[in-house]
Amino acid sequence: MTRSAQPLEAAAPFVLRLPANPPCDASVDGETAVRAPATHRPRRIDVPDVMARALIVGLFLGLAYRIGQDALTSGRPTGLLLLASELLVVVLTLARRTADAVDRRWRVRLIAGLSIAGPFLLRPSVGIGPSLEMVTATVSGIGLAVVVVAKMSLGRSFGLLPANRGIVSSGLYRLVRHPIYLGYLFTHGAFLAANPSWWNVAALATADVALLVRSAYEEDTLLHDPAYAQYRSRVRWRVVPGVF
């Protein structure tokens, strides 16, 4: 018996249709690897850091008001130069980058707070003569220039607490390891000479002693980085060339 030949129909092309949102990443040996939903951890807010920034802004606004009032009535420029220097502290504090290592011990926080708060508590006093005012303004201008140039090198590596935000060894950092503090000594001394009072003496003496102690704490933190140890071996002076 002969089987009659059946006509073959053209085979329809095979089409694999995938869902618009596939529930898996891959299939290996018949086992499906399901994609885990992406999880986003909420960013933790550093409450003490936020409070410190707000406090610094508030103290600066108070200083700006007092010095601004004095400048309007007396026309003295020394206080305005100090104000410009402290404005950089505020800007760089708000814009600083995250640190790799931060010394958060309470005694370190206290020293850092004293070194920063002192200048913001200054008060204009009875002015000196125009000739002496020109001298103090010149010295303050030199200090401001040192602070500006050093902070341009430091950039966002500036911070309140001792921390490693990257090693900077260019610019004025080739001369001393803490040139910003050197500039502060110029501006603080000039302001005190132009505005002598026991209140200002106490505020700046406390702040500048704390500043020098703060520099020691900063170096204790940075010395954990071999790059900073090499840098310190090249640059001998910490704050004042030939002295300290």
Give residue-wise pLDDT tens across range 89-145: 777 767 666 656 677 788 988 998 898 889 989 999 876 777 788 999 999 999 999
Q: What CA dihedral angle connects 139, 145, 146 and 150, to 10 degrees?
A: 160
Please give the structure tokens belonging to residue 228. Answer: 């900073």
Q: With pLDDT > 90 as the criterion, what percentage of the chain qualifies?
A: 32
Give residue-wise pLDDT tens across range 31-55: 444 444 545 555 566 676 677 778 8
Is residue 153 within 8 A of residue 172, CB to CB? The reply is: yes
pLDDT value of residue 152: 79
3-state DSSP call for residue 39?
coil
Give residue-wise pLDDT tens across range 21-30: 544 444 444 4
Is residue 217 within 8 A of residue 103, CB to CB? The reply is: yes
3-state DSSP call for residue 27?
strand
Q: Ranked by mean pLDDT, which of 130-139, 147-156, 173-182 comes out on top?
A: 173-182
Give residue-wise pLDDT tens across range 195-233: 999 999 999 999 999 999 999 998 988 898 899 999 999
Q: Where are the alpha helices (DSSP H) in 25-129?
A: 47-74, 78-95, 106-120
pLDDT value of residue 84: 87
pLDDT value of residue 59: 82
3-state DSSP call for residue 240?
coil
DSSP state of 164: E
DSSP state of 24: E
What predicted TM-score, i.e. pTM, was given to this entire model?
A: 0.72
Per-residue pLDDT band for 159 (boundaries 50, 70, 90) equals low
Please report, for residues 86, 186, 203, the alpha-carbon distance to residue 17 in angstroms, rounded to integers and kept in the order given. Answer: 66, 76, 77
**How many whole angstroms separate alpha carbon 89 and alpha carbon 121?**
14
Q: Where are the alpha helices (DSSP H) in 121-235?
A: 130-154, 179-194, 198-222, 226-234
